[in-house]
Amino acid sequence: MAELEAVIGLEIHVQLSTRTKMFCGCELSFGDEPNVHTCPVCLAHPGVLPVPNEEAIRYALKIAAALGCEVAPRSIFHRKNYFYPDNPKAYQISQYDVPLAGAGRLGNIRIHRAHLEEDAAKMIHLGGSGRIHGSGASLVDFNRGGTPLVEIVTEPDLRGAAEAAAWARLLRTTVRQLGVSDVNMEEGSLRVDANVSVRPAGSEQLGTKTELKNMNSFRFLERGIEAELARQRELIAAGGTVVQETLHYHPEDGTLHPLRSKEEAHDYRYFPEPDLVPLAPTEEMLREARESLPELPEARMRRYREEMGVAEDAAAVLVADPEAAQYFEQVAEAAEGVEPRIVANWVTGELAAALRQDGGEGVADSRVEPRALAALVAMVQAKKISHGSGKQVLATLVAEGGDPEAIVEREGLAQISDSGELESVVAAAIDANPEAADQIRAGNGKAIGAIVGAVMKETKGRADGGEVNRLIKEKLGV
């Protein structure tokens, strides 16, 4: 049998971080006491009408611009009808056949559409399975109800679980950089569902897909898709056929379970929302969305790699974290005469490690001023201090901030530049390690480490490693 190729499309819900809800003036919140951010409109009291949130429209237009989507001159809101306690109107205001944004692209993946809608209220099912069936009682928190959402749908262009997760990360970074959402999967401000199918490699036809929900981290997204691909491949290998259904991911054990068909059997009876007029963005709104776009991850990656010569892994780490990227650029600008490549390695390597050790705060919140890190890296590069001393100074900077030159002075870390002094230390180290010296003479280059270590110990790391190496070899005549 031909190899079965994975075909994956994603449906992403992004909660917008506007001040107020999509169709009323209630403030958005996360983690507040239940049902305090409510009003007659978002509770669907008789007689109320929705009024679209201009800020949400501007945010959605930014997302559309970042994804290179075509914006519809007049998009239409529809009512999507269903009875459920999380939906007080018994219809969700969404967009249907004329969405705000059409075809676009992010990376290699084509965007099918992006539209605006409102979020449902949050339900908590007590007891039982954590779902409404079998639970003793269900509670509704309307704080979330009416939060603006942008739903982004990709074409089925993804070919593997890892690729899907990587692309979802790129999307998250892109949206985060726009400043229009917290894009936090654990908190639900970014929700990614996957449509998964397989087909014989090389085939143009799509296989029957299943829809995967409830994967609330990138790791779960990848695992869920992997599990479903494996299930579909086994099923087909055993002569079975895939049935179109919605599957719920269980993070506890990584398994997928079908939702009850009753929950799924919806006829949403979409029709145009008569309470709203078509959404026709002005030229000014479109221009503002385009012009406000920051440098997006793809372009930033290109610039870091091609113009600044940053190594690929360091560039990837920086691009994924806009705050770290901004910090990196501030350090690179302040560190005159130091290659950006070196600065990037310090930010993503030594600094990140020191911060992890210190308790894990991000670079932007750390006590290490960009100027301070720039000065430190410059000192190491100019061999004023050793790399080891540099790390020691960095640990001090992380713990208490301050000026690296003062720390070097205070702690006497200035590199030993007097070669007479260094020579005597090296000589003493060789004498103290005769076995290593013999091995070096015999051609075992690795044995030099023991003598270098002894020198470093004696000088408390203040010696220049390169110079120490040179002197040892010189003295041993190799």
Partner 1 sequence: MAELLELSVAAAAERISAGEISADEYGAVWREAAAGDDLNAYLWRGEDDPAASDGPLAGIPVAVKDLFCTEGVETTAGSRILEGHRPLYTATSVRRLREAGASVLGKTNMDEFAMGSSNENSAYGPVRNPWDRERVPGGSSGGSAAAVGGGLAPCAIGTDTGGSIRQPASLCGIVGLKPTYGAISRYGMIAFASSLDQCGPLTRDVTDAALLLAALQGRDPCDSTSVGIEGGVEAPSREDLSGLRFAVPAELAHDAIEPGVRQVFEQTLARIEELGGAVAETGLPHAEHGISAYYVIAPAEASANLARYDGVRYGMRAGEAGDLIEMYERTRADGFGDEVKRRIMLGTYALSSGYYEAYYGRAQKVRTKIADDYGAAFAEFDFVVTPTSPSVAFRLGEKTDDPLAMYMNDFFTVPMSLAGIPAISIPAGLAEPEGGGPELPVGFQIAAPAFAEQRLLEAAYALERTIGFDSSPPRSGALYVAQGNKKRTGREGDAGG
3-state secondary structure 344-396: HHHHHHHHHHHHHHHCCCCHHHCCCCHHHHHHHHHHHHCCCCCHHHHHHHHHH
- Percentages (nearest 5) of helix, strand, coil residues in the chain: 40, 20, 40
Q: Which stretch in 86-94, 210-218, 320-328, 384-392 sits in contact with partner 1 by CB under 8 A?
A: 86-94
Among 13, 30, 34, 48, binds partner 1 (CB under 8 A): 48
Q: Give the C-alpha separation, 168 to 154, whole Å.
A: 11
Q: Give the C-alpha separation, 288 to 60, whole Å.
A: 12
Q: Which stretch in 75-83, 208-216, 232-240, 244-252 sits in contact with partner 1 by CB under 8 A?
A: 75-83
Tokens of residue 453, six digits = 């270590």
Phi, psi (deg, nearest 5) at residue 81: -90, 130
| Per-residue mark of binding to partner 1, 126-165 (x: CB under 8 A) | ------x-----x---------------------------
Q: Which stretch in 50-58, 349-357, 425-433, 454-462 sits in contact with partner 1 by CB under 8 A?
A: 50-58
Among 3, 31, 33, 83, binds partner 1 (CB under 8 A): 83
- The alpha carbon of 126 is separated from its chain's Cα centroid by a whole number of angstroms, namely 32
Q: Which stretch in 47-55, 150-158, 176-184, 287-295 sits in contact with partner 1 by CB under 8 A?
A: 47-55
CB of 51 vs partner 1, minimal distance in Å: 6
Question: Should residue 43 be labelled a site residue for partner 1 when binding is judged by CB under 8 A?
Answer: yes
Angle at 74 between CA 72 and CA 78, to 5 degrees: 100
> Amino acid identity, residue 28?
L
CB of 72 vs partner 1, minimal distance in Å: 18
Question: Count of residues binding partner 1 (CB under 8 A)?
Answer: 29
Tokens of residue 294, six digits = 């920051």
Strand 190-200 relative to strand 210-213: parallel, antiparallel, unpaired? antiparallel
Q: Give the C-alpha separation, 344 to 309, whole Å.
A: 10
Among 19, 32, 36, 51, binds partner 1 (CB under 8 A): 51
Identify which of residues 202 and 274 has a Cβ nearer to partner 1 in the complex.
Answer: 274
* Inter-residue contact 441 to 434 (CB < 8 Å): no
Identify which of residues 30 and 82 has a Cβ nearer to partner 1 in the complex.
Answer: 82
Return the residues of window 229-288 that contact partner 1 according to CB under 8 A: 267, 269-271, 274-277
Residue numbers at the binding site for partner 1 (CB under 8 A): 40, 43-52, 79, 81, 83, 85, 88-91, 132, 138, 267, 269-271, 274-277
